[in-house]
């Protein structure tokens, strides 16, 4: 990444739902990057918004819980309206390592690709349970069959989009199916993309909020519904 890149043009979007206990730590890890941060509180019942407002970030609040996909799109719309040239999506639960940010940004800022996708299987997935690993591998197979994208990690929330890519991609799946939908659109729009190794640290909290096998079935149903009712 060039030394003189304009950090004011980089926006990090964090979708948060009932993350009052963790959002502070997640944001503190990112503040030193000098990039802009927007936290979208997705209708939390706890003090997520209040905690976020005490931090040097922009805070947007959904009055009703609408899902992670909807929150990300809200944050992306906000970042675009503020002139973002690169937009990062970052999970609120502290799973991602902020140290991975520079290498994630580099390909987009150097205009080599339109989208950078983090991959825990190229990097490190610490304390990942066996069932979660199997579920993620099945998701990879599903994505390869439906989009043709040869990816190693399809449900990683750490991504970077160029401004033009963020303008083209429209997340219409409000809930967890957005991860598959983004990949679907990357394939359809033929966006240049690359996977970058990242580290994901699983904690008990993040596992409890993570997806189950039943969620995988629901996501498949949501994707099908999204294709039937445009």
Partner 1 sequence: MNLFQWIAIPILGILATLEVRAYIRNHQPIHILREFVWLLGISLILFPRATSTLATLLGIGRGTDLVFYSFMLLSTGGMFYLYGRNYVLRRDIVELIRRDALRNATPGVGLEMESNDRVDLPND
Give the residues lining the site for partner 1 (CB under 8 A). Answer: 38, 40, 52-64, 66-67, 70, 73-74, 77-78, 81, 170, 172, 174, 225, 228-229
Torsion-angle region of 45 (φ positive above 0: left; ψ -120 to 50: alpha; else: beta): alpha
CA nearest to 189, candidates 170, 168, 172 = 168
Burial of 32 (0-12, 13-18, 19+ CB in 10 A): exposed
CB of 67 or CB of 94, closer to partner 1: 67
Of the pair 56, 148, the CB lying nearest partner 1 is at 56
Q: How far is the CB of 93 from partner 1 (least distance, A)?
A: 19
Min separation Cβ 221 and partner 1, Å? 10
Q: What's the min distance (Å) between Cβ of 30 and partner 1? A: 13
The DSSP secondary-structure symbol of 154 reads: S
Alpha-carbon distances of 168 from 9, 67, 188, rounded to whole Å: 18, 21, 11
Q: Does residue 69 contact residue 174 with C-beta atoms inside 8 Å?
A: yes
Nearer to partner 1, 13 or 116 (CB): 13
CB of 46 to partner 1, least distance (A): 17
Least distance between partner 1 and beta carbon 174 (Å): 5
**For residues 61 and 192, which CB has a smaller minimum distance to partner 1 in the complex?**
61
**Which one, 66 or 119, has the nearer CB to partner 1?**
66
Q: How far is CA 56 from CA 27, 118, 149, 165, 172, in A?
A: 9, 25, 37, 26, 29
């Amino acid at each position: 990444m060039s030394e003189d890149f304009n950090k004011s043009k980089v926006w990090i979007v964090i979708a948060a739902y009932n993350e009052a206990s963790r959002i502070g730590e997640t944001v503190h890890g990112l503040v030193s990057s000098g990039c802009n941060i927007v936290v979208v509180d997705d209708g939390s019942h706890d003090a997520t918004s209040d905690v976020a407002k005490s931090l040097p970030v922009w805070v947007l609040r959904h009055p009703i819980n609408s899902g992670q996909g909807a929150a990300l799109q809200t944050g992306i719309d906000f970042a675009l309206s503020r002139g973002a040239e690169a937009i990062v999506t970052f999970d609120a639960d502290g799973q991602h390592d902020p140290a991975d940010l520079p290498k994630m940004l580099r390909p987009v800022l150097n205009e080599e690709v339109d989208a950078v996708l983090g991959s825990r299987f190229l990097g490190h997935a610490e304390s990942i349970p066996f069932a979660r690993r199997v579920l993620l591998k099945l998701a990879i197979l599903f994505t390869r069959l439906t989009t043709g994208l040869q990816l190693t990690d399809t449900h990683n929330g750490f991504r970077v989009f160029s401004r033009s890519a963020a303008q083209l991609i429209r997340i219409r799946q409000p809930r967890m199916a957005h991860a598959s939908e983004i990949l679907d659109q990357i394939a359809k729009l033929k966006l240049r993309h690359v996977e970058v190794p990242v580290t994901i640290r699983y904690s008990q909290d993040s596992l409890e909020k993570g997806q189950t096998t039943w969620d995988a079935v629901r996501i498949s149903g949501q994707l099908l519904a999204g294709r039937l009712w445009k």
